[in-house]
Amino acid sequence: MVEGGFTKLFQKRSLVRFTQKYQPLGSAEPEEESQEECELKVIEQEKEVTVLPPKDACKCHKEDLAKALNVDLHTGLSQNSVLQRRLKHGWNEFSVDNTEPIWKKYLDQFKNPLILLLLASALVSVITKEYEDAASITVAVLIVVTVAFIQEYRSEKSLEELNKLVPPECNCLREGKLQHLLARELVPGDIIYLSVGDRVPADLRLIEVTDLLVDESSFTGEAEPCNKTDGVLLEAGDITTLSNVVFMGTLVRYGKGKGIVIGTGENSQFGEVFKMMQAEETPKTPLQKSMDRLGKQLTLFSFGIIGLIMLIGWLQGKHLLSMFTIGVSLAVAAIPEGLPIVVTVTLVLGVLRMAKKRVIVKKLPIVETLGCCNVICSDKTGTLTANEMTVTRLVTSDGFQAEVSGVGYNGEGNVYLLPSKEILKEFSNVSVGKLVEAGCVVNNAIIRKNSVIGQPTEGALIALAMKMELADIKDIYVRKKEIPFSSEQKWMAVKCMLKNQDQEDVYFMKGAFEEVIRYCTMYNSSGISLTLTPQQKAIYQQEEKRMGSSGLRVLALASGPELGKLTFLGLVGIIDPPRAGVREAVQVLFESGVSVKMITGDALETAVAIGQNIGLCNGKLKAMSGEELDQLAEAELSATVTNVSIFFRTSPKHKVKIIKALQRAGAVVSMTGDGVNDAVALKSADIGIAMGQAGTDVSKEAANMILVDDDFSTVMNAIEEGKGIFYNIKNFVRFQLSTSISALSLITLSTVLNLPNPLNAMQILWINIIMDGPPAQSLGVEPVDRDTIKQPPRCITDTILSKSLILKIFMSAVIIISGTLFVFWKENPESGITPRTTTMTFTCFVFFDLFNALTCRSQTKLIFEIGFFRNRMFLYSVLGSFLGQLAVIYVPPLQKIFQTENLGVLDLLFLTGLASSVFIMSELVKLCEKHCCQPKHTKECHN
C-alpha cells in the first residue's frame, strides 16, 4: 500500500510539473485540477474491477467480459491500470507463512513433554546441589534438540531444492505490445497468449483458441487432456465442465490460445485449494502421542517414588526435608534421559535410510507413523499410474489380436500376437502393420527425450510404432491436407501421397469407432480390401464395447482413396497403465493388513480396470462415486468408506471427506498424491506423501514425505522403517527401565532398611553410563527385521509401555535385584563391607546389565533368529563395556577411584553364569509366547 501511495503521489507531482512547464500561468491550476480529477476517476474506476469466478466468466461474451474487466482486447492493459489493480489484488503468488525464524524453530524442539520433564529434573538437581547430574541431563537435552533440529532443517532444504515453482514466466499483451513477463506480475484483465508446453499462469477465460488441448490432471485426476473452446457456456457445472476456462498450473499439451485473466494468486482455483490446505491442521503423529503418554507415566512414577520415600521416612521418624531430597534424587535417576536421544537417533537413522531409498521426510516422527498406518488412500493419475497414455491392446479388422508391453513414451516393449505370443516387428503381420502405420501417419505428436509434445493419445500411437520399428514410416508420406479433430465430429484425418511416386492420394483416419465406421465401405484382410458387411460391423462394435468396458480408450483406424470409401483397419486400446511394481506393493500391503483405496476423478470403468489390474482388495472391488458420498450423513459415511476400495468422479473436498471419515472410524490414514487437487487431503491425512517429479509445488508443500522418484512401492520400505523404529524404541525402553528400576530398588531398599549401601557413588555413575551409553544407544540402531513388513499395523492406542512390556521390565528387574542381593549377601562378611563385597556386587550388576541388553534386542524373536552379528554396533559397545569393567577391576589407578579389587577367574565365571539367568529367562518367555500366544497377538494387532 505504501508503494502504491508513493506511486500515486509521484504521478500527481510529475503531472503538476508538466502542466507548470507547458501551460499558460493563468490556466495551470484549473488544468491541474482537471488532470487530478481525471486521475482520481481512473483510480476510482480501477477499484471497481473485481475478480470474476470461473462459473460466472464462462457465461460471458468476450466483449462483455472485456467491459467488466475494463480492458481493450486489442491492446491489453496500460501500465497505470496494472499498478492500480495490483494495489487491490496483490501479486499473482501465494503468501506461505514461512517467516518463522530459525531460533524459534530450534526452541520449538523443547516442547516435547519428556524434554520438559528432563529440564525440570535438571532444575531439581541444581536445587539439591547435584551439579554433575544437572550438567549431564542438560547436555543430553541439548544433543537431542540439536540433532532433531538439524535433521528437520536439512529435510526442508532438500525439499526446497526439489520444488519446482508454479509457472515463472508468460506471454502477455500490454499497451499494444506482446511482452515476456514473470507470472507473478499478472493482474485481472491481462491478456495472455498460450502455446504448446506453457504452464497456465493464472485462471483465464479463453477468447480465442486453435485446437487447444490442456492437461488438467493435476486438478481433476483425468489423464486425458481437455479440449478447450472459446464459445459462451449456457450452464456452469463443476470445474471439469468449464471448457472455455483454463486454470493456473495446468499444462498446454497442444494447440494455442488467448485468454483474459479472471483470477490471480489466492483468488484463483489453485488459490482456493491452497487456502483450504493452509486452514487444515496437521494431526499429531502416534509416536508424539506415545511419547506424551510416556512422559506423563514417568512423571506420575517419579511423584509416586517421592511420596513413598517421604511416607516411609516420616513413619521411621526421619527428617522430612532429607527424605524429600533422597526421593527427588531417586526420581531424577528414574527418568531415562537417554530415551529422547535414542528416539531422535533412531528416527534420524530411519530418515537417512529413507533418503538412500529416494524418500525425503520433512518431520522426524513421520517415519514412525507409517508403522501404524492401516489405510493408504492413493490418487490414481500420476501415483498408481504413470500419467503416460500407452497402447495395451490391438484388434485388427480380420480378427488378429495382439497385446503390447512397456509403459510410457520411451519405445521400450514389444507387440505380441495372441495366442502364440510371437513378437511382431514392421510388417511381419500385414494387418497389424497396416493398423500401426495408420496410427503413426494420422498423428501430430512428437516424442522427444521420452516425453510427448502434443496429445498423449497420439504419443501412445507413436510409441507403439517405435515398438514395431515403424516410427519412421510417416516420413515416406507427404501430407497434403489435414482435417483436425473436433469434439463434434470425433475424428481426425490426413490426406497424403507417397514421396517420389505418382500414385493416387490416400486418406488416413482415426477417431471414435461409431464415427470412423460410417466412412468405411471395406475392411482389411491380410492386405486385401473386402466388402464390409453388417455382420462384420456388429463384430467390431461388440469388440469395441468389450475393450471399453475394461477401461480402455478405444480408437478406430481406417485408410483409403477418399473419405466415403475407406478400408477399416482395426481398433487400438489405450490406457494410462499402472506404474511398475505397484501391483506387487499393493499385494504385500494387503497381506500385512494395510488397506489400499484408490481415489480418482476418472470414470467408473477406467477406475475399476486399474483397480483390478493392481489387485486392489484381491479383486473384490466396491466402488462409490463423489455424488454418492455427498448424499451420505457423517455417521453413515464413516461406516461405509471402510468397505469401499475405489472412489471415482471425486473432487478435492470429497478426498478430505473420505480421509476424515476413515479417521473417525479409527484408521491411521496415509494419502499419496501429486496434484493440486490432492493438496488439502495430503495435509489432513495422518501422513501425506507427494510425488517428487510429477508432483505440483502445492502438493509437496502440503505433504510430510516426498517420493523423489515417484515410486509407489517405496511406501512399503517406509512402512517397514516405521514398524522397525517403534520396535527399537520399545527395546531400548525395556532395557533402560529394567536397569534403572533395579538400581533404584537396590538404593531404596538399603535406605529404607538402614542397610549398608551395596554400591558407592562412582560405581552408580559407571552403571548410569552403561544404562544411557553405547549398549543402550546401540539398541536403537538394530536393523529392521526382514519379517517386519508382514506384521500387522500397530494399534494407535498402544502405548510404548504396554502391559506385556511392563511385565517383562519387572521380570528382568526382579531377576537382576535378586541376583545382585544374593551376591551381596553371599560376599558380605560379619565384620562389614569390604572392597571385595562391593566389587563382586558391582560386577554382578554390570554383567546382568549386559545380558539384559542382549535379550532386549527383540521382544519376540530369539537371539538365534535375529543373529548375533546383525547389529555390529551393539557387539562393539557390549565388548567395550565388558573390557571397561575389567579395567575398573584390574587397573590399579581405576581400582582406587572405584574402590575395587582383583577378582579370580572362578569369580568371573560364577558371576557370568548367574547374570546369564536374566537372558535365559527372557528367551524362555519369548519361546512360550511364540507357541502359546501367537493367534491372540495377531488378532489384537488387527483391531
Active site residue ranges: 379
Q: Residue 704: count other Cβ atoms within 10 Å of its Cβ.
A: 26
Question: Phi and psi dihedrals of 365, rounded to 5?
Answer: -65, -15
The answer for residues whose C-beta is within 8 angstroms of residue 890's C-beta and 6 or more apart is 902
- Residue 753 CA: distances (Å) to CA of 325, 571, 750, 758, 839: 18, 92, 5, 12, 22
Report residue 562 as a C-alpha cell.
477418399
Question: What is the Cα 557 distance to its own chain's centre?
Answer: 41
User: CA 240, 243, 245, 247 torsion: positive or negative?
Assistant: positive
Q: Which three cell numbers stand for residue 775?
A: 549398549
Strand partners for 383: none
Cβ proximity of 363 and 152 under 8 Å: yes
> Which string of DSSP letters, residue by residue, matches 633-698?
-HHHHHHHHTT--EEES--HHHHHHHHHHHHHTT--EEEEE-SGGGHHHHHHSSEEEEESSS--HH
Q: Is 497 exposed, middle or buried (0-12, 13-18, 19+ CB in 10 A)?
A: middle
Segment (H or E) for 521: strand 520-525
CA distance 465 to 411: 8
Count how many Cα atoms sit within 13 Å of the Cα of residue 785 in the half-sphere of its side chain: 22
CA torsion 416-421-424-428 (nearest 10°) is -140
- Cα 566–568–570 angle (5° rounding)? 150
The letter for the amino acid at 10 is: F
Indicate if the alpha-carbon torsion angle 852, 853, 859, 862 is positive or negative.
negative
Give 108: exposed, middle or buried? Use CB within 10 Å, 0-12, 13-18, 19+: middle
Determine the angle formed by the axes of helices 113-127 and 131-162, rounding to 10 degrees: 150
CA–CA gap between residue 890 and residue 903 (Å, rounded): 8
Return the C-alpha cell found at 816.
537382576
How far is the C-alpha of 479 from the C-alpha of 482, rounded, in Å?
8
In whole angstroms, give the CA distance from residue 411 to residue 413: 6
Say which DSSP state 117 is in.
Answer: H
Peptide bond into 419 cis (omega under 30): yes
Kindly list the distances between the CA atom of residue 795 and the CA atoms of 20, 411, 547, 661, 941, in Å, as whole numbers in the listed order: 81, 46, 43, 18, 6
> Is residue 8 within a helix (H) or strand (E), and if so which, with residue range?
helix 2-22
Helix residue ranges per DSSP H, 316-374: 320-334, 338-356, 366-369
